[in-house]
Amino acid sequence: MNSEKFDFLVIGSGIAGLFSAIKASEKGTVALVTKRELFECNSVYAQGGISCVMEGINEKDSFASHIQDTLEAGAGLCKEEAVKAIVNDAPSRIQDLINLGVNFTTRGEVENGCSTEEAAEYDLGKEGGHSRRRVLHAGDVTGEELIRALVSVCKNNPKINVFENHHAIDLITTERLGWGEESNQCLGAYILDVENDVVKTFHSKVTVLATGGAGKVYLYTTNPDIATGDGVAMAYRANAQVSNMEFFQFHPTCLYHHEIKSFLISEAVRGEGAVLKVKKKNKYVEFMDKYHELKSLAPRDIVARAIDRELKESGEKCVYLDITNHDAEYLQKRFPSIYEKCLSLGLDMSKDLIPVVPAAHYCCGGINTDIKGRTSLERLYAVGEAASTGLHGANRLASNSLMEAVVMANNAIDDSSDLLAKYDGAAVQAQRNAIPDWSRGNATDSDELVVITHNWSEIRSFMWDYVGIFRTTKRLQRAKRRIRTIQQEINHYYWNFVITPDLIELRNLAGIAELIIDSALSRKESRGLHYNVDFPNKSNSAHETIIRRR
């Protein structure tokens, strides 16, 4: 019998997952499951930083200002109570991160001539949509620094059991097992141990989905290959509510270069004065003043659509970021990773313009949760990008995601105390013993892996063409017909051949694509990140898109 029993099962090793595991270890035993190595996650690529009102450093900032900026970016779809709660709790969670060993950049590291007191203060960046400087960062590799510190803590915690190269297949629920419970409960998950080629049964009193984003559903993305929306797809199959999947954020400035794949030019570069320009008649001219009063610092949805329009009108393949207003010394200190990458390609940021294009970046929708991280399934929580808390609304404000990840992870684990007490003792042990192991049935090894590769490529291509920055009802309907056909092919393949990591990810990716398409078709307006040419105006009433498996 291949089974593991823990108080907590945390699936995902990004910032939300690692922070959840650390907090959960104070209450019980923890299984931390990740489908690659512990350090390989979407969070590690976060460059900009983590937003937080830092009282005593920026006296011009306030919680009210941060809340207002978030609400404005969210285009009328944020849940105001969630915004207030998360923004107000951020300073406490920042202190937690500092206590866990995270090293944020100080002013003395990037500025010359600071006093001793000023040099010790944290350097606060400013990004698109923010009215004040409130973004803590670690150079331009903030995600890498956060993951470094949290991974170190997890590896040295005896209560946290790390399972690398383990792919979650499906959640185990009372409904799935046909147990006839009054409420659908999550009992754990079936997980593929890749190295030993065996499916294990993970039993847990509390399950936390922290599986990150789904950028690989699009052809062009800033996300790594692991971002296949696994948690959202699993939760949907388990009959949990999913919300607002039509709101997919396209980052305006992904480096455009034939040698580089998915390298992000941080929002913080524009925050430090970079200006967007397009090439017209051999001249580089600014264009964002035509689209928004904040110009190049406008919210991401507006900037991405503006770039898309300028590229279509000009026929150019990219636009450019101009940050030549700063010298090389400053740029090397403020953006060491970006500066080094550009220089390796023959681009000196202090002298040359940086070619950029939009790319799929962040899923604002996800598994529907309350402010405690609770989903519609008892004993199942969702945190980080996999969750839809109401903070982001129709468009995420830059650097709010890392803030949300740590605040919601803390909230979820705090809330789970009652569940730990409720599901303890002989009854739970009997329940665990009754859960059947995974059965492969008559599945055989496939000699047609090209089916997986072809379907993967086709999904990403038509999602980019039909369900991208600009949408039409006709394109969405065309995408819906294609995803139905592909889903049939995947389901036939899934139930007849042996489970592999590629097949698990393809199944989830197809599910995510269909959720985005269905959500987009149901929204008869343009709002935030969702723009449909057939419904160009924002409706008078704001509503969420809630989807649940029929």
**Are 107 and 122 within 8 A, CB to CB?**
yes
Burial 33-47 (b: 16+ CB within 10 A, else e): bbbbebebbbbbbbb
Three-class secondary structure of residue 148 per DSSP: helix
Residue 471, Ramachandran bin (φ over 0: left; ψ between -120 and 50: alpha; else beta): beta
Which positions are annotated as active-site residues? 300
455, HSE (Cβ side, Cα atoms, 13 Å): 29
Is the separation of the CB atoms in 71 and 50 below 8 Å? no
Q: Specify the DSSP class assigned to residue 374.
A: B
**Residues 230, 35: Cα–Cα separation, whole Å:** 10
Quote the CA–CA distance of 410 and 419 in Å, as a whole number: 15
Q: Are 30 and 7 in contact (CB under 8 A)?
A: yes
How far is Cα 89 from Cα 143, in angstroms, rounded to an integer? Answer: 20
Cα–Cα distances in angstroms (integers) from residue 177 to residues 8, 186, 431, 438, 494, in the given order: 20, 11, 11, 12, 20
Closest CA to 170 of 357, 371, 435, 353: 435
